[in-house]
Amino acid sequence: ETGVTQTPRHLVMGMTNKKSLKCEQHLGHNAMYWYKQSAKKPLELMFVYSLEERVENNSVPSRFSPECPNSSHLFLHLHTLQPEDSALYLCASSRGFEKLFFGSGTQLSVL
């Protein structure tokens, strides 16, 4: 393990459900990220938190809501998702915005 842990590994949800993805890092990093990975597409940066403040929000729909209560934990709250939101959601952390350490991801399926 690289020190970045994501749960759950797999998630199936209906379009009316509310669920949350969790990420935890034990590397002493000061920045955390959410990325979306879809088949045959580049990794898409969704949110960046530095020192618990959101510093980037790349025009992500409001049905995705991040939360960073401290420098070790990051959540992604999901509600009323669409089938096209099905993807692998990767959390990452870094010290000083370089050399990203990724978690194993949550494979999300929206039915």
Partner 1 sequence: GENVEQHPSTLSVQEGDSAVIKCTYSDSASNYFPWYKQELGKRPQLIIDIRSNVGEKKDQRIAVTLNKTAKHFSLHITETQPEDSAVYFCAASFSGSARQLTFGSGTQLTVLP
Residues that bind partner 1 (CB under 8 A): 2, 4, 31, 33, 40-43, 45, 48, 55-56, 90, 94, 96-105
Evaluate whether 47 touches 57 at the Cβ level (below 8 Å): yes
The minimum distance between CB 46 and partner 1, in angstroms, equals 11
The minimum distance between CB 42 and partner 1, in angstroms, equals 4
The minimum distance between CB 7 and partner 1, in angstroms, equals 14
Cα separation, 6 vs 25, in Å, equals: 9
* Residues whose CB is less than 8 angstroms from the CB of residue 55 and which lie 6 or more positions away in sequence, other chains included: 48, 49
